[in-house]
Amino acid sequence: DTGVSQNPRHKITKRGQNVTFRCDPISEHNRLYWYRQTLGQGPEFLTYFQNEAQLEKSRLLSDRFSAERPKGSFSTLEIQRTEQGDSAMYLCASSSRLAETYNEQFFGPGTRLTVL
């Protein structure tokens, strides 16, 4: 029974470069979420998928950010032309298709991004 996995765990990049993160949800979970967390703050919602459909996007998700879940399984989050303000922990979560528990989101370990 594996949990949510994220790769890489850490990424250091130079300003202006593109980065891509991957998230593998818990098997059979049809909902997948992306959050961003900065130091001293709680996670902030970015976007979520139900199967392969992207159903909601936050205003935090600028046009430099794009997320995909092409086959309804793993997801990728890409940031183009990174800025120093993008430095944060990027968290992925998934939840079950069961109506009574679909609000229970289980988080991965996160990807720590540092933009120099």
Partner 1 sequence: GQQLNQSPQSMFIQEGEDVSMNCTSSSIFNTWLWYKQDPGEGPVLLIALYKAGELTSNGRLTAQFGITRKDSFLNISASIPSDVGIYFCAGQESDGSSNTGKLIFGQGTTLQVKP
Binding residues for partner 1, per CB under 8 A? 4, 6, 31, 33, 35, 40-45, 48, 50, 55-56, 58, 91, 93, 100-110, 112
What is the smallest separation between the CB atom of 50 and partner 1, expressed in angstroms? 8
CB 108 within 8 A of CB 4: yes
Residue 93 bridge partners (DSSP): 33, 107
Q: Tokens 């399984």 appear where?
A: 73
What is the smallest separation between the CB atom of 67 and partner 1, expressed in angstroms? 13
Nearer to partner 1 by C-beta: 58 or 66?
58
Nearer to partner 1 by C-beta: 83 or 104?
104
Nearer to partner 1 by C-beta: 44 or 83?
44
CA distance 67 to 47: 8
What is the smallest separation between the CB atom of 16 and partner 1, expressed in angstroms? 27
Burial group, residue 99, by CB count within 10 angstroms (0-12, 13-18, 19+): exposed
